[in-house]
Amino acid sequence: MARILVVDDELLLRVMLKDALEAAGHAVVLAENGPVAIDRAKTARPDLILMDIMMPDLDGFDTCKAMKADSALTGVPVILISATTDPKVVVDRAKQVGAVAVLPKPVPMDQLKQILVRVLKPA
């Protein structure tokens, strides 16, 4: 299936998402923050990036923006994960930085699977 980079500063969420995605047949690479995610994305060449917004140092918005500015990563779809209570603001900002979707925290696995099917379908 797909190679997915999961980025979150919370170890428990990274592991939970990894387990669920691997159970669905995907290969998963993990990163704990934005700078590590950028490096891992360049070396692992993921088909998709699933990334938390609220992280120290470089948040998910700025990490996504940096990835979209990098010619090696610009075409990789990014799904952002948000624990915010104001989803409209998050969705608007996510679109501005090039994310293809935003999911709430905790991540509803049924919605994630639907988005993966839509985003990863062959051209």
CATH of the domain at 15: 3.40.50.2300
* Secondary structure class of 59 (helix, strand, coil): coil
> What is the per-residue pLDDT across 46-90, written as a single tens digit (0 to 9) for each?
999 999 999 998 999 999 999 999 999 999 999 999 987 677 778
pLDDT at position 45: 96
**Do 84 and 11 meet the contact criterion of CB atoms below 8 Å apart?**
no
* Cα–Cα nearest to 5, from 29, 21, 25: 29
Q: Which two tokens stand for residue 1?
A: 């299936």
In the chain, how many domains are there?
Answer: 1
pLDDT at position 122: 67
Cα–Cα dist 95/102, whole Å: 9
Indicate if the pLDDT at residue 32 is higher than 60: yes
Q: How far is CA 116 from CA 39, 44, 79, 89, 122, in A?
A: 23, 18, 9, 23, 11
What is the domain range of residue 16?
Answer: 3-120
**CA geometry: angle 8, 40, 15, nearest 5 deg:** 35
